[in-house]
Structure 1
Amino acid sequence: MSDSRQNYRLGDMTAAIFAQAAAANPVVLLPLGSHEDHGPHLPMGDYLLAEQLAVRIAQAATDKGVVTFAAPCLPFGVADYFGATPGGLALSPASFRAVLAEVLASLLGHGLSNIVILNGHGGNVPVIHEVTLEIRRTRNIILPSFYLWKIARQLMEAQLGAGSQERFGHGAEPLLSLTKALRGAFVQPGEVLAHGGETMLGLPVSGFGTLDFHGLAIDAPVEFDQVPLAATQAAWPLASAELGAQTAESLISAAAQFVVHFGRLPRGAAGCVV
């Protein structure tokens, strides 16, 4: 299965070819992403990064002896802070929950119970937990979720060392260098201005959904166009395709190792991890 001609995308395979491969109950990766504003410098479709990484993770895990395929990426994430910015395409939490539950039910219905979710959007996290918890309770099947950007941040922080925390955030690292490495043609040149000074209720906007009240974080319906871009401004002059490529390789390696661990766990009578 490590032949360079091997297909790792379900979308590239005929149903008959995949039915033959599926008889061994391979691991199936389900990438999730978003289509949202990342600032004036980055493309909106970070789901394309998740999809690209999923294929490379599938290949790396297969090369290690655990046959793995990447399902098509769900490009629309849970709507959170981006309603005010143009071009964003998102689902309500209820809609995303229904779509995710039905996609997973479809895979499970085909007897594909070894599923790893590769999540590429923070707003998806609580809904993924709800859906997978229900599957565990009703079917006694455990479906783990590997949060790509959270783990990429951990790997990049370890590489950069102390004092790098100000470079991390939405539109900043780790997605900035990852995009330069994997989709560099779509990164817009120029300076990124750290806009600020936005207020709500007479208080300064301090972050996603928060206002600053004498040093205390007050939750409020703040959207992305009002959030300061300090992290992006700090990351912009230091980000690079080289850093992104190194992080991508570390991320692929870590994810593939997890997939191999998951794929080799003892299975129950139904062939799934319980």
Structure 2
Amino acid sequence: MTNKIRIAELTSEEARQHLNAEAVLLVPMGSLEDQGTHAPMGDFMAADAVAMDIAKSARAAGVQTFVAPVIPFGGKDFFESSHGGVSLRHETLAMILNDMIGCFIRHGLKRILIVNGHGGNVPPITEVALRWRQSHGVFITSMYLWQISYGLLQKILGPERAAQSSGHGADPLTSVGLHYFPQLLRSDLMRNPTPGLKVGGVEVGGYGTLSYGGVSFQAPTEAAENAPDGVWGGDPHLCSAETGAALVAELVRLGAGFIKDHVARGFRAT
């Protein structure tokens, strides 16, 4: 087994030798958008870093695991208003992901786990995964890192503290960023969520929603209206590298375990 984990670093001969039907491929995805005034816009860097750590852990458990080049641009949702951000139409992202997976499958590489770091990627991932299952019987799964993380944070921090720190521009991504690349974060630029925001005279309920009568209504709002500083629902000042390390450890444990128990086995029945 080669020590190289990234597919991009393999020579063509190494690829022929090691990228076989038993290999597991991780496909990291993320976005380039406003993550708060203090945090780097490229959350795909965090997804890529977690994928690498998952691959290392899976290898330690005996599974030959590789990481594909990260898809850095997320599917369009509310964040096209982010200054300097780049997003792709869902059909464009679905075609990119579909073509990428098609190249793997052509060479017999069918054990694929998508490591996703952006909510706007979920619909294209779902569409592509269903397409390959229905057309070729290939079962592709994904783990949405930050959705999983909200539940993990309650265990790591306790429900009360997690409720205070969890939200866009705060936990989990700020703590994960402080763990992986603290030199890129600007604590001096941290800002709290902006209270009392309204769009069209109605209280903002979250990204893409308005609040009325205690319920949420879907609305075509943009991130710049919902959270002009990129922070919604959580206080980034409560985030820490220690929380990020604990969170990553759990994500890696779960990801590597899922690979060993299911992805590497091709989801065969026990």
Query: Which TM-score applies when normalising by structure 1?
Result: 0.91
Structure 1 counterpart of 2:151, from 139, 154, 158 = 154
Quick check: 1:57–1:253 contact (8 Å CA) kept in 2? yes
Structure 2 counterpart of 1:128, from 125, 128, 132 = 125
Partner of 2:50: 53
CA-based RMSD of the aligned residues comes to: 1.8
CA deviation digits over 1:217-244, x for unaligned, max 9? 12111111122445233xx232111111
CA deviation digits over 1:225-266, x for unaligned, max 9? 122445233xx2321111111111121111111111124426
Partner of 1:261: 261
- Which amino acid counterpart does residue 36 of structure 2 have in structure 1? G
Partner of 1:204: 203
Matches within 5 A, 1:75-86: 75-86=72-83
CA deviation digits over 1:170-225, x for unaligned, max 9? 11111111011111111112241322333222212221011122323121111111
Partner of 2:111: 114
Check if 1:216 corresponds to 2:215. yes
Matched position secondary structure for 2:63: coil
Partner of 1:247: 247
The unaligned stretches of length 5 or more in structure 2 are none
CA distance in structure 2 between the partners assigned to 1:33 and 1:231 by the alignment: 21
The unaligned stretches of length 5 or more in structure 1 are none
**Farther off after superposition, 24-33 or 71-80:** 24-33
Structure 2 counterpart of 1:174, from 163, 172, 175 = 172
Quick check: 1:84–1:224 contact (8 Å CA) kept in 2? yes
**Farther off after superposition, 151-160 or 169-178:** 151-160
Matched position secondary structure for 2:71: coil
Identity in percent: 34
CA distance in structure 1 between the partners assigned to 2:157 and 2:174 by the alignment: 15
Aligned-pair distance for 1:45? 0.4
- Which amino acid counterpart does residue 155 of structure 1 have in structure 2? L
**Farther off after superposition, 254-263 or 221-230:** 221-230
Check if 1:193 corresponds to 2:192. yes
CA distance in structure 1 between the partners assigned to 2:40 and 2:130 by the alignment: 33
